[in-house]
Homo-oligomer: A and B are copies of this chain.
Amino acid sequence: MVLRLTLEYDGNNYSGWQLQPRHDSIQGRIEAALERIFAAPVRVFGSGRTDAGVHARGQVASISIPRPFDPAELQRALNSILPNDIVILDISIAPDGFDPRRAARARVYEYRVLNRKIASAFEYRYSWLVRDQLDLDAMNRAARIFVGEHDFAAFRSLGTDVTTTVRRVILSEWSRDADVLLYRVEANSFLRHMVRAMVAAMVDVGRGKLTPEKLATILEGLDRHAAPANAPPGGLYLVEVRY
């Protein structure tokens, strides 16, 4: 019996989604909770990794359970064992062989920038504080450059092996809610650190340190060193995986 889990987590207390020896991971916590319920090891397969400090509002994972169990009852059991910062939002029966990574048509991420002079006691782990005044129109002109199929080699993590750095961005836009600038981006899939590198470049455009035209040249140049360093992880949220 294969189940599909939708979950949210606050990434602040974890070394990321992915199970790692001697590190506290979200995957590890869920596998430990499942092992307590089934008294047998159960592997959890996610739609993709999220890094240390990155949050999720709609991560999707699959599990193959060793004996039948009512999904709603399993959800209650898991939520009562899991720490408060990991919550299973939904469990449903998945088709046999459901692979949440390969089956995903698209992923949606959001990134929160807090644009004000003074830090916030509530936002410091949930957004990136940028004190400089930002030009939202310029940032949206920059955001539109990413839409479509491009080689994102200039916006990847250099340490990662991938077969291709070409990705198709479906939506890329900024909006404002009081002093929070919210970036929403949807793509067929993402390279590691891609959103955080894109956000850092667009914030430089918002500051006037970079023009949208120069950003287009960086994208075409395929050179990671030409683009700014990553935006911090705390502002990033995996909000939806589409199937």
Chain A positions near chain B (C-beta within 8 angstroms): 8-10, 55, 79, 84-89, 118-122, 124-126
Contacts and interface: CB of A to CB of B under 8 A. Distances in A.
Find the residue from A9, A55, A88, A119 having the highest chain B CB count within 10 A: A119
24 contacts: A8-B120, A8-B121, A8-B122, A9-B121, A10-B121, A10-B122, A55-B121, A55-B122, A79-B118, A79-B119, A84-B119, A84-B121, A84-B124, A84-B125, A85-B121, A85-B124, A86-B121, A87-B118, A87-B119, A87-B120, A87-B121, A88-B118, A89-B118, A122-B126
Oligomer copy total: 2
A161 to B, nearest CB: 31
Q: Determine which residue in A10, A55, A79 has the highest number of CB atoms from chain B within 10 A of its CB, and name it.
A: A10
Nearest to A88: B118
Contacts of A89: 118
The 6 A-B residue pairs whose C-beta atoms are closest, nearest first, are A84-B124, A87-B121, A8-B121, A10-B121, A85-B121, A9-B121
Contacts of A120: 8, 87
Contacts of A10: 121-122
A125 B55 CA distance: 16
A88 B8 CA distance: 31
A56 to B, nearest CB: 8
Contacts of A88: 118
A169 to B, nearest CB: 27
A72 to B, nearest CB: 11
